[in-house]
Amino acid sequence: PEVDALYIGGGFPETHASRIASNADFNSSLRERINGGLPVYAECGGLIYLSASILMDGEHYPMSGVFPMIFEIAHSPQGHGYTVLCVDGDNPFYPTGAVVNGHEFRYARIVNKEDLTGLKTVFAMKRGTGIIDNRDGAVYRNTIATFCHTHALSENVTWPAALVKMASVRVKRHL
């Protein structure tokens, strides 16, 4: 259905990787809408869903393909604990210079780091692991995808208000 913004929360998409991969029409539709400017905020499992694929037991499961990351699911946590993010890049959800607390818990790790030289990230990890090289918050157009979970009412967490504001602008354009 038509949406004006989307929040993709955490979770474990690898538990349904086959079903997600087989839903190519939806995956393609979401990718097209993001290319068209749909505002999306994605955390952890949402980041994995927006990636190119998940690798499990030697088999690739295509995801939505918004970001070029390929994730492998490990048998032990690859990121676990509290995080502190410093916003150091332009993005539609946080002001540059903001410091945001959160947490990460994941089994996913990137297997194609060498292919990600052009990946734009907007968070410097002061504490935690992040996506790659102590960085988190992959950004593309009006989309941010991060391994870090934040509480919507925490100090300096501005993404919920920004998402609603971007959605309301899209609604007004449709009226």
Q: What is the mean pLDDT of the chain?
A: 92
pLDDT score, position 155: 84
Sequence-distant (6+) residues with CB within 8 A of 73 are: 14, 54, 55, 56, 107, 108
pLDDT score, position 169: 86
**Mean pLDDT computed over 14-33:** 94
pLDDT at 148 over 90: yes
Q: Name the pTM for this structure.
A: 0.92
pLDDT at 18 over 90: yes
pLDDT score, position 126: 96
Residue that is written with structure tokens 């410091």 in the block? 99
Residue that is written with structure tokens 């354009």 in the block? 173
Residues of the chain with pLDDT > 90, as a percent, come to: 73
**Mean pLDDT computed over 10-14:** 87
pLDDT score, position 174: 65
pLDDT at 171 over 80: no
pLDDT score, position 47: 96
Active site residues: 44
**Mean pLDDT computed over 163-167:** 94
